[in-house]
């Protein structure tokens, strides 16, 4: 995959995640979304943003933009951990089971998909 493809993959993952929610309040979800792209990663928007940043930096050959990625990734990861605590509080065992079945960011080889 060429570097513009990495950015395009990031854009596609982000768009799929947004489409999956179809106007839901992401700050206070009514339901646990485990369908669509959420079957493969618990954080497709964050993953998409990261791929978009890296792909764009590499396509533009911009070391400055690329150098900001680790910092952005650490800040996003901090927010992801906080969101996971909130989702566990809100959805309890359903979220715990989902988190055990679906990777936080990337699909491992031994992935077991959860059924909606």
36-82 pLDDT, tens digit per residue, is 899 999 999 999 999 999 998 998 889 999 999 999 999 999 999 99
- What pLDDT, on the 0 to 100 scale, is given for residue 79? 95
Structure confidence at residue 99 (pLDDT): 95
Q: Alpha-carbon Rg of the chain, whole angstroms?
A: 15
Q: Which residues contact 82 (CB under 8 A, 6 or more apart)?
A: none
Q: What is the pTM of this model?
A: 0.79
Domain ranges of the chain: 3-101
Q: How confident is residue 115, by pLDDT bands cut at 50, 70 and 90?
A: low
Tell me the pLDDT tens digit for each residue of 32-49: 988 889 999 999 999 999
CA distances from residue 69 to 36, 49, 75, 109 in whole angstroms, order as listed: 27, 10, 10, 25
Share of the chain above pLDDT 90, in %: 51
- Mean pLDDT over 85-91 rounds to 95
How confident is the model at residue 28, as a pLDDT?
A: 77
Q: Are 72 and 54 in contact (CB under 8 A)?
A: no
């Amino acid at each position: 995959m060429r570097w513009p493809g990495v950015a395009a993959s990031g854009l596609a993952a982000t768009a799929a995640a947004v489409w999956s929610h179809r106007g839901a309040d992401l700050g206070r979800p009514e339901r646990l979304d485990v369908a669509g792209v959420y079957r493969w990663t618990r954080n497709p928007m964050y993953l998409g943003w990261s791929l978009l940043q890296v792909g764009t930096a590499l396509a533009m050959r911009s070391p400055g933009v690329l150098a900001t990625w680790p910092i952005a990734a650490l800040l996003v990861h901090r927010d992801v951990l906080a969101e996971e605590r909130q989702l566990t509080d809100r959805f309890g065992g359903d979220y715990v089971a989902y988190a055990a079945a679906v990777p936080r960011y990337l699909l491992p080889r031994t992935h077991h998909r959860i059924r909606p």
